[in-house]
Amino acid sequence: MQGNMQRVAFSCLAAFAILCTPIANAIADPVTAADLIGKMLCWDAYFFNRSKAFDPSKDTYGEGGKFSGEGVGEGTWAITPDGVKIDTETRHLIDNMQKSPDGTFTSDLKFGSGRLKATGKYCNQ
């Protein structure tokens, strides 16, 4: 009887570990400067509170903190404890940007009374 219980317990633990592996791999991490320097990100349409707000766009994160974004213009970017800080003449944003293990980026901006969200990838992929 004790041998059967041990096998059942082991089987349950093994099944739990197998089920949790994809979840652990799907967890995104905050972006780093190395993820962005010299890269161009192609974003899908932005959604404001789940309604389409902006068309797809491209953002370039240059060396020395130079930023260029379709729709927001030229400016600067920096990694901060709160996320990616983007300053242009028309916008001052903090983007809680994440990168998934599969290379997908998510953008989550607080925008007025709602949230502006998008997904994207490096444009060269």
What band does 2 get if pLDDT is binned at 50, 70 and 90? low
Q: How far apart are CA 68 and CA 40, in angstroms?
A: 9
Q: Which residue has the higher pLDDT, 13 or 115?
A: 115
The mean per-residue pLDDT over the stretch 78-92 comes to 93
pTM of the predicted structure, to 2 decimals: 0.72
Q: Residue 112: its pLDDT value, please?
A: 67
Fold annotation for 29-122: Lipocalin (2.40.128)
Indicate if the pLDDT at residue 88 is higher than 90. Answer: yes
End-to-end Cα separation, the chain, in angstroms: 56
Query: Mean pLDDT for the chain?
Result: 80
For 19, 52, 116, the CA distances from 106, given in Å and listed in that order, are 24, 16, 11
Query: Residue ranges per domain, the chain?
Result: 29-122
Q: What percent of the chain has pLDDT over 70?
A: 74
